[in-house]
Amino acid sequence: MTSLDKPTEETTADDGARAVTEAALLEAFGGIRGMVETVLPGLLFVTIFTINKDLHWSAIAALAVSLVLVAVRLAMRDTVKHAFSGVFGVAFGVVFAMMTGNAKDFYLPGMLYTLGLGLAYIVTTLAGVPLIGLILGPVFKENLSWRTRNPGRKKAYAKASWAWGLILLGKCAILFPLYWWADTTQLGWVLIALKIPPFLLAVWLTWVFLAKAPAPIDVFAEMEAQEKAEEERAAAEGGGRNPGRHRREA
């Protein structure tokens, strides 16, 4: 192996940073399992409604599978935030659809949430506090240190938030016209088709921006180091004030 073939410390550090970024994104957005939990209830709803046009059975099946996913998470003592968010989304959809009697309204709460989230990404970025940074900051153990102490990372969060916002708003630009013009099955299948690809694109762009950004500042490690230094300083000062006592005890 030549010197050119040997991995450098910089390359190793870059690989480590990418691995940390990938792990953080998986934790924040739920990974493959989170995507399945997001898609499955809506897929079951539109499948059953396509077959028998029965709103009640479609809604009950979607809500039931959401509850099963939460129960499985609880049984495995795993995090339930993604499964619970799915339950609430499905429950709101069921309530809307049952109240209006229009099966398309099952999708309306999720569409409104997507619209609001897309706008939140844009507005928070314009305000200088990009939403993706607020989401991922605690995951990277940097909290809000990127706002004032890590400008390169703040820039990466801003780019990622713009990506999320524009992708979600683009998705809404497709779905809302279909809500008015298409029937329930057409809207449902288009919505299912648009669940994963835009999400994966946004996650990939986030990974690209963060992989090139400066490393996060671990504020928790800093706090621990500061506390340890203060304890050592207090111990040293305490020992320095009572040298005679230590000699007598010895």
**Ramachandran angles phi, psi of 35, nearest 5°:** -65, -40
The residue type at 245:
R
Q: Are 90 and 41 in contact (CB under 8 A)?
A: yes
- Residue count of the chain, please give it: 250
Question: Which tokens sit at 201?
Answer: 């694109």
CA nearest to 163, candidates 111, 190, 125: 125
Map tokens 């339930």 to a residue.
80
Q: Are 94 and 63 in contact (CB under 8 A)?
A: yes
Torsion of CA 203, 195, 198, 81, to 10 degrees: -20
Q: Where are the domains of the chain?
A: 102-232
Q: Are 64 and 77 in contact (CB under 8 A)?
A: no
Per-residue pLDDT of the chain (250 residues; tens, 9 = 90+): 444 444 555 455 455 556 667 767 776 676 777 778 888 888 899 999 999 888 889 999 999 988 888 888 778 776 666 666 777 888 889 998 989 989 999 999 999 999 999 999 999 999 999 999 999 988 888 989 999 999 999 999 999 999 999 999 999 999 999 999 999 999 999 999 998 899 989 999 999 999 888 988 888 787 888 778 777 787 777 665 555 555 455 4
